[in-house]
Amino acid sequence: MPKVTSSVVLQLFLTLAAPSCGRVLELDGYTVGAQVESPQVSEDRCEATSECDGETVCVQATHTCVPVKSEDCATVTGDYRDDDAVIIGAMYAFGGAQAGTSMARHNAALLAIHEIAGAGGIPRGDSSASARPLAMVSCDASVDVVRAGKHLVEELHVPAIVGPNGSQDTLDLSRQVSVQGGTLVITPTALASSIADLSDNGLTWQMVPTDLQRGQLLTIAIENMADVLKDERKLEKVKFAAVFRNDALGIGTRTSLNDLTINELPLATLVSRGEARIDAYDASAPDQGATVRAYAEFAPDIIVLAGTAELILEILVPLERAWPPGRPRPHYMLIDSLKNPELLDAVTNNDELRKRVRGTGVVPSPRARSVYDAFQLSYQLAYPGMPSDVGGLGPSYDATYAIAYALAATQDQPISGRAISQGLRMLSDGRQEIEVQAVTVLAAFSRLAMNEPISAIGTFGPLAWRPNGAVLGGTLELWCIENRTGHLSYQSSGLTVELATGLLTGTFKQCE
């Protein structure tokens, strides 16, 4: 499969990023990786955006007119020119292998922005009168995440950012930019447990369970797969391998496998005996040919892949082509970040491969199922033809709503990352449950504006966090790929685990 070029990504972004229910500003010739001058901050003092010219806003922290866009941040959604607007940021990797997935996740965040606008904005005081518009400046994190973050934090002084996608980008942004700048970062999909361990003044938050929280299900699923393959292939020993991205995402997943036992031996012993191998890869390398050749020669029965879309394009697909004739092909165990369009493309017209692929990831809890279904319908109506089962869509939508709710809860304080952090604590343990969706946003705003906590139910479960910003609870599943009359989609296999209790329910059943 050819690599996605920057020009193709941008054309898709222009075509797909704007739903019929809202307006997204043009990209003005923006090109991923282009070397253009940084935005110039005006020296003229301002008190309101109405005093600024063109696509600039009055930043209250500096009382200067600042360009709302930059070389990395090319899209603005919402009424950002309103003097009362609250401007937040979004960071997604719109270039490279993750482009398609990032666009879908970004669309989910924009859907929340449009729904909040439809409700009149964020209340100021204890009523909906004179509500504040919520606007979003969207940035490409695929070129230079720190540079993009500096525009949002140091120039625009946004109080909060939805994103980035990846664990390493989230760590880099927090350490180098957002914590020092006092901006809250809430990542929809980053799952490295090291994010929760940051000394971040309570400013970096996650929306999905961490890699270590997922370790139990991943280990059980691999061990069960090994037992099945032993019986089916009449093997005395199963050969195991894992390829992980050499960053926080991959390292965390690899660490979660420390307790894995195959052939009645721990993983470390298998590696030392040559019955297993574990390899890191550099996502910036021009190709992964050496790893592909090594794995075709080693011919493992099970391969764990932990990374992002380039793993599908540069390892799984080439490995399937290079596999030696007559050797049983491997079964693949993936993680949620690989639940993407690239994987569906890889198994199209290849049902035999489809049946050898499964993965672990988040799934809506029973209480959140109705919220998830409502979100799916709204997303499909807003973005017809776009895939709606890509990993991370629901958490992107929830993260944007969480920021809006937190702003409503702390409307008596100056807008800041710290205030939003406090407001997020108001979204759980309330007496009334409120589902995250367009028809309930006013009910949530009403209670939060009166300083009443709520119990917000997002697309995958309660919006509740531990003190360190890691999600509290959640449900994980073992997923597979369904082929129903030629239409491929991700579906649950029936095996789930509830993180709060560690209780496993159901059994794995291969998708039809």
Q: Are residues 250 and 189 part of one domain?
A: no
Give the domain CATH number at 496.
3.40.50.2300
Q: Are residues 67 and 182 part of one domain?
A: yes
Q: Are residues 299 and 184 part of one domain?
A: no
pTM of this prediction? 0.85
Q: Is 160 a domain residue?
A: yes
Q: Are residues 196 and 216 part of one domain?
A: no
Closest CA to 333 of 310, 297, 359: 359
Q: Are residues 283 and 201 part of one domain?
A: no
Residue 1: predicted pLDDT: 39
Residue ranges in the chain modelled with pLDDT below 50: 1-38, 41-42
Q: Is 47 a domain residue?
A: no
Q: Is 219 a domain residue?
A: yes
- Residue 163's CB is within 10 A of a number of other CB atoms, namely 32
pLDDT digits (tens, 9 = 90+) for 418-470: 999 999 999 999 999 999 999 999 999 999 999 999 999 999 999 999 999 99
Residue 178: predicted pLDDT: 98
Contacts 24+ apart (CB under 8 A), 317-322: 317/1, 317/346, 318/288, 318/289, 318/292, 319/292, 319/295, 320/346, 320/353, 322/292, 322/293, 322/296
Residue 129: predicted pLDDT: 66
Q: Are residues 154 and 12 part of one domain?
A: yes
Q: Are residues 118 and 75 part of one domain?
A: yes
Residue 104: predicted pLDDT: 94
Residue 43: predicted pLDDT: 56
Closest CA to 26 of 38, 18, 34: 18
Residue 126: predicted pLDDT: 62
Range of the domain at 150: 6-20+56-207+390-457
DSSP label at residue 156: S
DSSP label at residue 37: P
Domain count within the chain: 2
Q: Are residues 301 and 235 part of one domain?
A: yes
Q: Are residues 144 and 10 part of one domain?
A: yes
